[in-house]
Amino acid sequence: MSGLQTRLLGEILGIRAIDCHSHVPHELPHARSLWDLLGHHYYTELAHSAGMPAGAVDPGRSEAERIGEMVARLDTLSNTVQYGWLMEAARELFAFGPERLTPQNWRDLARAVAEAGRQEGRYRAVLAKANLEKVFLTNGFDENLEAVDRTVFVPCLRTDDLVFKLGDAQVRHRLAVKTGIEIGSTGDLRDAAQWLMQYFVRHGAASAAVSLPPEFAPREPDEAAAAAALGRALKGKELAAADADALAVFALDAVASACRQFRKPLQLMLGVIRNVYPAGVPGGRDLPSKQGSLMAYADLFRRFPEVDFTVSVLSTAWAHELAAFAWIFPNVKPSGHWWYANIPAHIEYDLRARLEAVPQVKLIGYYSDMYKVEFGLPKFNMYRRILARVLAREFVETGRMTEAQAVDTARLLLRENPRRIFGV
Amino acid sequence: MSGLQTRLLGEILGIRAIDCHSHVPHELPHARSLWDLLGHHYYTELAHSAGMPAGAVDPGRSEAERIGEMVARLDTLSNTVQYGWLMEAARELFAFGPERLTPQNWRDLARAVAEAGRQEGRYRAVLAKANLEKVFLTNGFDENLEAVDRTVFVPCLRTDDLVFKLGDAQVRHRLAVKTGIEIGSTGDLRDAAQWLMQYFVRHGAASAAVSLPPEFAPREPDEAAAAAALGRALKGKELAAADADALAVFALDAVASACRQFRKPLQLMLGVIRNVYPAGVPGGRDLPSKQGSLMAYADLFRRFPEVDFTVSVLSTAWAHELAAFAWIFPNVKPSGHWWYANIPAHIEYDLRARLEAVPQVKLIGYYSDMYKVEFGLPKFNMYRRILARVLAREFVETGRMTEAQAVDTARLLLRENPRRIFGV
Amino acid sequence: MSGLQTRLLGEILGIRAIDCHSHVPHELPHARSLWDLLGHHYYTELAHSAGMPAGAVDPGRSEAERIGEMVARLDTLSNTVQYGWLMEAARELFAFGPERLTPQNWRDLARAVAEAGRQEGRYRAVLAKANLEKVFLTNGFDENLEAVDRTVFVPCLRTDDLVFKLGDAQVRHRLAVKTGIEIGSTGDLRDAAQWLMQYFVRHGAASAAVSLPPEFAPREPDEAAAAAALGRALKGKELAAADADALAVFALDAVASACRQFRKPLQLMLGVIRNVYPAGVPGGRDLPSKQGSLMAYADLFRRFPEVDFTVSVLSTAWAHELAAFAWIFPNVKPSGHWWYANIPAHIEYDLRARLEAVPQVKLIGYYSDMYKVEFGLPKFNMYRRILARVLAREFVETGRMTEAQAVDTARLLLRENPRRIFGV
Which of C316, C361, C407 to probe the A interface (max A CBs under 10 A)? C361
Is C288 in Cβ contact with B359 (below 8 Å)? no
> Which residues of chain A neighbour B318 with C-beta distances below 8 Å?
none
What pLDDT does A334 receive? 98
| Residues A262 and A198 sit within 8 Å (Cβ to Cβ) | yes
Is B318 in Cβ contact with C290 (below 8 Å)? yes
Q: What does chain B come to in residues?
A: 424
Chain centroid to Cα B198, Å, comes to 22
Beta strands, E only, B21-95 = none
| Residues C189 and C253 sit within 8 Å (Cβ to Cβ) | no
Which regions of chain C are under pLDDT 50? none
> Which residues of chain C neighbour B405 with C-beta distances below 8 Å?
78
Interface of C with A in 56-115 (CB under 8 A): none
Cβ-count burial of A329 within 10 angstroms (0-12 exposed, 13-18 middle, 19+ buried)? Answer: buried
Q: What does chain A come to in residues?
A: 424
Q: Is the pLDDT of residue A281 over 90?
A: yes
Going from the C-alpha of B87 to that of each of B76, B92, B99, the distances in angstroms are 15, 8, 7
Q: How far apart are CA B362 and CA B334, in angstroms?
A: 7
Q: How far apart are CA B40 and CA B372, in angstroms?
A: 9
Measure in Å the smallest separation between the Cα of B317 and chain A Cα atoms.
Answer: 7
Q: How far apart are CA C84 and CA C101, in angstroms?
A: 11
For residue A55, what is the DSSP state?
A: G
What pLDDT does B1 receive? 82
Interface of C with B in 216-255 (CB under 8 A): none
> Which residues of chain A neighbour C360 with C-beta distances below 8 Å?
76-80
Q: How far apart are CA B136 and CA B205, in angstroms?
A: 8
What pLDDT does A345 receive? 98
Q: Is the pLDDT of residue B408 over 90?
A: yes
Instruction: Give pLDDT tens digits for A10-24.
Output: 999 999 999 999 999
> Which residues of chain C neighbour A51 with C-beta distances below 8 Å?
330, 361
Measure the N-to-C terminal CA separation of chain A; round to a whole number of Å: 35
All residues at 6 or more sequence positions from C121 whose CB lies less than 8 Å from its CB, including other chains: none
Beta bridge partners of residue A24, listed in sequence order? none
> Which residues of chain A neighbour B278 with C-beta distances below 8 Å?
302
Question: Given A301, A353, A409, which is nearest B345 (Cβ)?
Answer: A353
CA-nearest residue to B88 within chain A is A400
- The closest alpha carbon to A215, from A339, A354, A340, A315, belongs to A315
SS3 of residue A205 by DSSP: coil
Does A409 contact B at CB distance below 8 Å? yes
DSSP assignment string, B349-402: HHHHHHHHHS-GGG-B------SSGGGHHHHHHHHHHHHHHHIIIIIITTTSS-
- The closest alpha carbon to A277, from A268, A286, A267, belongs to A286
State the Cα angle at C257 between C251 and C260, rounded to 5°.
150
b/e B231-270 (16+ beta carbons within 10 angstroms → b): ebbbeeeebeeebbbbbbbbbbbbbbbbbbebebbbbbbb
What is the rounded average pLDDT of the residues A337-366?
A: 98
Does C395 contact A at CB distance below 8 Å? yes
Measure in Å the smallest separation between the Cα of A230 and chain B Cα atoms.
Answer: 32
Cβ-count burial of C61 within 10 angstroms (0-12 exposed, 13-18 middle, 19+ buried)? Answer: middle
Predicted ipTM beyond 0.90: yes
Chain centroid to Cα A398, Å, comes to 33
Q: How far apart are CA C312 and CA C288, in angstroms?
A: 12
Does C362 contact A at CB distance below 8 Å? yes
What pLDDT does A1 receive? 82
Instruction: Give pLDDT tens digits for B131-185.
Output: 999 999 999 999 999 999 999 999 999 999 999 999 999 999 999 999 999 999 9
> Which residues of chain B neighbour C41 with C-beta distances below 8 Å?
none
Chain centroid to Cα A389, Å, comes to 24
Parallel, antiparallel or unpaired: strands B208-212 and A266-270: unpaired
Going from the C-alpha of B208 to that of each of B144, B246, B302, B313, the distances in angstroms are 16, 21, 19, 17
Measure in Å the smallest separation between the Cα of B370 and chain A Cα atoms.
Answer: 17
Going from the C-alpha of B184 to that of each of A231, B177, B349, B350, C16, the distances in angstroms are 55, 14, 48, 45, 72
What is the rounded average pLDDT of the residues A313-342?
A: 98
Is A327 in Cβ contact with B290 (below 8 Å)? no
What pLDDT does C1 receive? 82
Instruction: Give pLDDT tens digits for A111-167.
Output: 999 999 999 999 999 999 999 999 999 999 999 999 999 999 999 999 999 999 999
Confidence grade of residue A325 (pLDDT, cut at 50, 70, 90): very high
pTM: 0.98
What pLDDT does B78 receive? 98
Q: At what angle do helices C186-202 and C169-179 cross, to 10 degrees?
A: 50
All residues at 6 or more sequence positions from C214 whose CB lies less than 8 Å from its CB, including other chains: C270, C271, C272, C273, C288, C289, C290, C291, C292, C314, C315
A303 CB neighbour count, 10 Å cutoff: 15
Q: What is the 3-state secondary structure (H, E, C) of C98-127?
A: CCCCCCCCHHHHHHHHHHHHCCCCHHHHHH
What pLDDT does C224 receive? 97
Measure in Å the smallest separation between the Cα of B39 and chain A Cα atoms.
Answer: 16
Is B84 in Cβ contact with A400 (below 8 Å)? yes
Instruction: Give pLDDT tens digits for C397-420.
Output: 999 999 999 999 999 999 999 999
Measure in Å the smallest separation between the Cα of A55 and chain B Cα atoms.
Answer: 40
Parallel, antiparallel or unpaired: strands C272-273 and C287-288: antiparallel
Give partners of C (≥3 CB pairs < 8 A). A, B
| Residues B271 and B313 sit within 8 Å (Cβ to Cβ) | yes
What is the rounded average pLDDT of the residues A269-295?
A: 96
Residue type, B219: R
Measure in Å the smallest separation between the Cα of C405 and chain A Cα atoms.
Answer: 9
Q: What does chain C come to in residues?
A: 424
**Mean pLDDT, chain B, integer:** 97
Instruction: Give pLDDT tens digits for B104-123.
Output: 999 999 999 999 999 999 99
Is C79 in Cβ contact with B355 (below 8 Å)? yes
Beta bridge partners of residue A310, listed in sequence order? A267, A333
Q: How far apart are CA A160 and CA C300, in angstroms?
A: 29
Interface of C with A in 300-339 (CB under 8 A): 301-302, 305, 317-318, 320-321, 323-330
Does A389 contact C at CB distance below 8 Å? no
